Structure 1
Amino acid sequence: MADRSPDTLDQNSEPREPREPSEKKASPPKGAAEKQPEPGAADRAAAPEPAAAAGLSGAKSPASGPSKVSPTSAVPDKAAGTVDRPRTAAGGAAEAPGTPKREDREAARKPSAATQSSKPSGNTGSPKPSGEAESSKPSGKPESPDSTQELITPTVTLRIIPPAAPTPAAKPTPAAKPTAPAKPAAPAAPSPKAPPSPAPAPSPAPAPKTPDRPAGPDVDTSEFVALKPADAPRVQSAEQDVRPPLDLLAQLTNTPAPPPSPARTLVRRLKIWTPLVVLLGLVFLSVQMFRPLPDPALDLGETPPTFTVGGDSLTIPWPEQGQAAVTVVGSGSVGTSGEQKPVPTASIAKIMTAYVILREHPLKKDEKGPLIEVDAQTVEDGKSEDESRIEGLEEGQTFSQQDMLKMLMIPSGNNIGRLLARWDTGSQDETAFVTKMNDAAKALGMKNTTYTDPSGLDKETVSTAVDQLKLAEAVMEFDAFRAIVALPNADIPGHGRIYNNNDRLIMAGLSVRGIKTGSNTPAGGTLSWAAYKTVDGEDRLILGTMMDQHAPAPDPNGANSLVLVQDNSKKVIEAVRTALTSAVAISEGQVVGYVDNGLGGRTAVVATEDLTAVGVPGQKLKLSFSDGGTISLTAKAGTVVSELTVGTGPGARKIPVALKADLPEPSFGAKLTRL
């Protein structure tokens, strides 16, 4: 609110005497409001009443002496530089420390007699309209210095006007221009006896107005300055922004956050996390219920993984030197002897040559196959004296694939082996075919075998007895091959009769049906053989290999070593054939395992018939479930779910197995708790 300066007063206003620069506002003494008015003071109190009322509204008479401060003043006067002091309960102002004493202040304010006599006495009239100067009306009774002093002394009873009801704060607007003070009403005739009647309280204005302040340095007024509007926006610091969501929500809704407590914190956390946990639980439940179930699997359970043929263990008459191995096809290994290290193979390498030819050019049992022409290299190789060969061949002759295989396996023609290698690859040498031989060996698991030529004449072609058994088992699956190697001799059209180098064993009455002999100086005598025995009405195939058998010198080209290996092999064949027998490994109805549904459920599986194993006493045979189709998630009791196999290989014995009880569907709990 702007103050009016003396320059803005009406021109006809009476000038005032300047105050001392250090003059302070007069403060009534403590307890002044409690003093009773002196006799005759009513007249004096009645005269300032209009002026007091005018002072409350911001206007006073120029001749009324020092002004009295409105009780509603509470802030410093910015223009005048004066400071309001706190009021006492009785209406007086409390003196601040260091303030001059009251007597000193009063003495400084007393004007001279000449000044007092020159001023008119009496109450001022109402202000004139704008542009007119105020006029003083004499009361007809001159004021004395004592009366002036009494007026200065705050002995009158002050009327406290309650402030108007606060209105909603609005946007700050520029201060309005000060208006002329309203002219006070004419005072009523003073009554010497009647007490002063209080002036009616002014009605509250519809909006707060800034009263005009009279000019003059002696005017001591104050204005209310709002330190902070009620609706001023709050300024939040960076630290206040990092608060819990509920506190921020409380601020936005003007609702203060409740004081923190463990219980309230727990409730708040539950409100925040419970929906999230419930949502995650529903997602987890949906995933667990609708994700694919694992496929049931068969497990042997308490059934031993092997079956041992009963009886006294077989003692095999192994040779004193070299290495050997024997297996019963479909049952497994019977045993081995010697160190299984790579040694020269000699002519048993031709078994791999025949295997590759039949794999890439298969024949049925009695099928002749395509014609193969003899080239000049084959004729020339037939003239060699230091190796086994087919002599008398002519360039341009043709022989069937079957006849070529007979000349390869029965008399062991090295030159025929090289011819077949070139025919298969269409090249002028055997290098590409040898690569095929090594690839086939790797595929069969022959880890200790290396081929360098298709005939086995090269001493760098090496293998072991165990590796050769793997090859023998694979090649004997060809019907055409089994029929050829079982012949003691054969007639070849266009050439004549050929004789088997293994006729000593083939004709020994041991049911030997092949396979191939081999001999030379580096390898000594080598032999892969096949013998049969009928067990429980079924022919069982026995395979064996013996290598690195060396006869005493002289031994030209390993001829004597060939006889030695045949004799040693015959002993082994006789022992194994004699001991080979059958035994019941699993009885009908016996629990052989369980179906595991992958969720903790297990259903017993039983054998539907007796499972008979074939082997020699003391031989251990492997028990396993065959790899069948996928087992259904639910099935009735008696449903066949797989086959139980005893032994290894294509000739292994098998029986069906079935559920002992119903295979139920996995429960809700099992689906929910699965990992």
Structure 2
Amino acid sequence: MINVVPPQRPTRHRAGGHWLLISGLLTLLLAAAAVFAVAPLRHPLPAPTVTRTLPASTIIPGKAPRVPWPATGQAALSVERIGSLGTSGGSKPVPIASVSKVMTAYVILTEHPLDRGEHGPKLTVSEQQAAAYPAEQARGESLVPVVAGAVFTERQALQAVMLPSANNLARILAAWDAGSIEAFVAKMNDTAAELGMKDTHYTDPAGYDPGTVSTAVDQVILARKAMKLPAFAEIAAQKQATLPVAGTVHNYNSLVGKDGVVGIKTGSTDEAGGCLVFAAVTKVGGRKITIVGAVLGQPGAHTPEQLDRVFRATRPLVRTATAALGVHPVVRAGDQVATIRGPLDAGTTLNAAQDLTVVGWPGMRVRLDLDIPTVPAELPAEAEHGRLKAITGTGAPIATPLRTGAGLEPPSTWDRIRLHR
């Protein structure tokens, strides 16, 4: 007998379980891939980096001026707010004669300021001060006549000190201001220290005492400060003035009005020789530029010869400085200043938007400072970003904006994923 076994029906639930397993695995794989792809996007992008390609300074091209320094004595030559053209003769403190009166006038005007044209308070010559005149005259001092009871305004007294170089009015002003000459001299030395005149020492307000010593460099420091006082600059530029008792007096500085010279003060004694602190004004590129200098220790047997020698030594210095000054481009519009690099080597350049020009002379060094803010991830082409400044001396910087070259764009999503693989 044959037994027939009927076929069994397939178990469908087993096949369905396999598909569920495969589907779950695919879901997990897709989720893992999504996590792998999205995770890098959570990382912040590296900040773009800036690399400077412009030097920190540059030198104005051309042949540097040859300064005709005097063969003897000391000299210093400077251009206000721009820089120094140099010095000669060393830095040993030497007698400066009536150049000392620049400090006398400076102290008076800082403690008793005057506007241009203003006369200010009055001071009266005492009997004792008037009685000293014959002895001062017998010593051969530079003076103006005075009498007891004569009244000078502050301006007139300063004119007497600065133009005909009156020693007696320097002493009268000192006592009027400080109560005594000694107290005033202490003020002079304190002021010199405050201004950084480290090689200067005053012993009297007139400069008659050879113990009053300084250097050409220190006197240029003082002259630059003094010429910023309106009344001082006005008086130093005068060729003559009218004073009580003396009448019309003339400025010993015969260079005033020549070659742009606008002051400042002469000095001469046997110990000091011929001395002159000077200022001259010239126009460069539409700007008024002040040249300041000092020449000390020029030889001569007497005051007229000493002053003639110092004037002859000074005029070539003024003319050389005036001729040397010009407007010079140190960076041209479009010149590359820096490069910017972003992630995946995306990058651009920063370029000067305008010509950058300075007043100076060939051979002068100009500092170039960059001010570049933090660079964002995206910058369009020709976008303004940062500034370039040219700096000379103590003057205000000359600046130009910086502009990008090509645009800087952040990486795409796919690039960011590749960046972190």
* Residue aligning to 2:296: 547
Q: Which residue of 2 is the match for residue 528 of structure 1?
A: 277
- 1:303–1:420 distance in 2 versus 1, CA, 3 Å: farther
Relative to structure 1, the CA distance from residue 646 to residue 496 in structure 2 (aligned partners, 3 Å threshold; closer, same or farther) is: same
After TM superposition, give the deviation of residue 633 of structure 1 in Å.
7.0
1:512 to 2:261 alignment: yes
For 2:176, give the aligned amino acid: W
The 1-side partners of 2:210 and 2:51 are apart by 47
Aligned pair 1:620/2:371, yes or no? no
SS at match of 1:368: coil
- CA distance 1:394–1:313, shift in 2 (3 Å): same
Counterpart in 2 of 1:655? 399
Is the Cα–Cα contact under 8 Å of residues 584 and 610 in structure 1 kept in the other structure?
Answer: yes
Report what 1:400 is aligned to: 153
Q: How does 1:495-506 map to 2 (within 5 A)?
A: 495-503=246-254, 505-506=255-256
Percentage of matched positions with identical amino acids: 37
Distance 1:399 1:314, change over 3 A: same
Q: Find the structure with the greater CA-based Rg.
A: 1
| Mapped contact 2:144–2:168 kept (Cα < 8 A) | no
Aligned counterpart in structure 1 of residue 171 of structure 2, from 415, 418, 422? 418
* Conserved 8 A contact 1:520-1:559: no
2:76 and 2:156 map into 1 onto residues whose CA distance is 31
In structure 2, the partner of 1:488 is 239
For residues 232-275 of structure 1, what are the alpha-carbon distances to aligned partners after superposition, in whole Å with 9 as ceiling and x for unaligned?
xxxxxxxxxxxxxxxxxxxxxxxxxxxxxxxxxxxxxxxxxxxx
Q: CA–CA distance in 2 between the matches of 1:576 and 1:480?
A: 26
- Assess, with a 3 A threshold, how the Cα gap between structure 1 residues 573 and 369 changes in structure 2: closer, same or farther: same
Q: Distance in 2 between matches of 1:482 and 1:338?
A: 28
Instruction: After TM superposition, list the pairs within 5 Å mapping 1:182-581 onto structure 2.
Output: 301-383=52-134, 384-385=136-137, 386-425=139-178, 427=179, 429-492=180-243, 495-503=246-254, 505-507=255-257, 509-551=258-300, 555-556=301-302, 558-581=303-326
Change (3 A) 1:491 1:657: farther
Cα separation, partners in 2 of 1:371 and 1:579, compared to 1, 3 Å: same
Residue 388 of structure 1 contacts residue 412 of structure 1 at CA under 8 Å; is this kept in 2?
Answer: no
What is aligned with 1:130? none
Shift of the 587–611 alpha-carbon distance from structure 1 to 2, 3 Å rule, reads same
Aligned to 1:458, the other structure's residue is in SS state coil
Tell me the number of residue pairs that the alignment of Structure 1 and Structure 2 aligns: 347
For 1:568, give the aligned amino acid.
Answer: A
Q: Which amino acid aligns with 1:423?
A: W
> Letter of the aligned partner of 1:391 in structure 2?
V
Offset, 1:452: 1.2
Report deviation, 1:380: 3.3
1:43: which partner in 2? none
Structure 1: how far apart are the matches of 2:126 and 2:269? 26
Tell me by how many angstroms 1:584 deviates: 1.0
One-letter amino acid of the counterpart of residue 482, structure 1:
A
Inter-CA distance 634–395: structure 2 relative to 1 (3 Å threshold): farther
Q: 1:624 to 1:560 in 2, by over 3 A?
A: farther
Q: Which residue in 1 is equivalent to 2:47?
A: none
Query: Structure 1's 399 and 580: CA in aligned 2 closer, same or farther, altered over 3 A?
Result: same
For each residue in 1:145-190, what CA deviation from the matched residue of structure 2 results, as whole angstroms up to 9, or x when unmatched? xxxxxxxxxxxxxxxxxxxxxxxxxxxxxxxxxxxxxxxxxxxxxx
The answer to whether the 8 A contact 2:64-2:362 is kept is: yes
Give 3-state SS (helix, strand or coil) of 1:506's partner.
coil
Segments of structure 2 that go 5 or more residues without pairing to the other structure are 1-49, 341-347, 409-421
Structure with more of its chain in helix, by fraction = 2
What is the CA deviation profile of residues 610-644 of structure 1, one whole-angstrom value per residue up to 9, with x for unaligned ones?
Answer: 33222232233444579xxxx98789996786772
Alpha-carbon offset, residue 312 of structure 1: 1.6
Query: Quick one: which amino acid aligns to residue 177 of structure 2?
Result: D
Change in 2 beyond 3 A, CA 1:620/1:559 = same
Is the contact made by 1:459 and 1:523 (CA closer than 8 Å) also made in structure 2? yes
Shift in Å, 1:589: 5.1
Q: Distance in 1 between matches of 2:162 and 2:207?
A: 12
Give SS of 1:424's match: helix
* Residue 459 of structure 1, CA deviation: 0.9
1:590 Cα shift? 4.4
Q: How does 1:94-105 map to 2 (within 5 A)?
A: none
1:632-658, CA deviations, whole angstroms, 9 ceiling, x for partnerless residues?
A: 8789996786772421124x5522545
| Structure 1: distance between partners of 2:132 and 2:349 | 66
Amino acid at match of 1:441: A
- What residue number does 1:191 align with? none
Contact 1:525 1:547 in 2 (8 A): yes
What TM-score does the superposition give when structure 1 sets the normalisation length? 0.47
Change (3 A) 1:412 1:644: same
Q: Aligned-pair distance for 1:416?
A: 1.2
SS in 2 for 1:393: coil
C-alpha contact 1:378 1:416 (8 A) present in aligned 2: no
What do you get for the CA RMSD once the two structures are aligned? 3.2
Query: Does the alignment pair 1:583 with 2:328?
Result: yes
Residues 53, 336 of structure 2: 8 Å contact kept: no
CA distance in 2, matches of 1:544, 1:585: 27
Task: Tell me, in whole angstroms, the C-alpha distance in 2 between the residues paired with 1:549 and 1:314.
Answer: 23
C-alpha displacement of 1:542: 0.9
Task: Name the CA distance, whole Å, in 2 between partners of 1:587 and 1:480.
Answer: 41
Relative to its length, the structure with more strand (as a share) is 2
Return the alpha-carbon distance in structure 1 between the equivalents of residues 51 and 96 of structure 2. 41
Task: Name the CA shift for 1:620/1:422 in 2 (closer, same or farther; >3 Å).
Answer: same
On the 8 A contact 1:624/1:644 being kept in 2, the answer is yes
**8 A contact 1:607–1:655 mirrored in 2:** no
Q: Which residue of 1 aligns with 2:355?
A: 610
Structure with the bigger RCO (C-alpha within 8 Å, sep 6+) is 2
Task: Tell me the CA shift for residue 401 of structure 1.
Answer: 1.5
Paired residues of 2:59 and 2:366 also in contact (CA < 8 A): yes
Tell me how far apart the structure 2 counterparts of residues 464 and 533 of structure 1 sit (CA, whole Å).
25
2:398 is matched by which residue type in structure 1? K
Alpha-carbon distance between aligned partners in 1 of 2:339 and 2:133, rounded to the nearest angstrom: 63
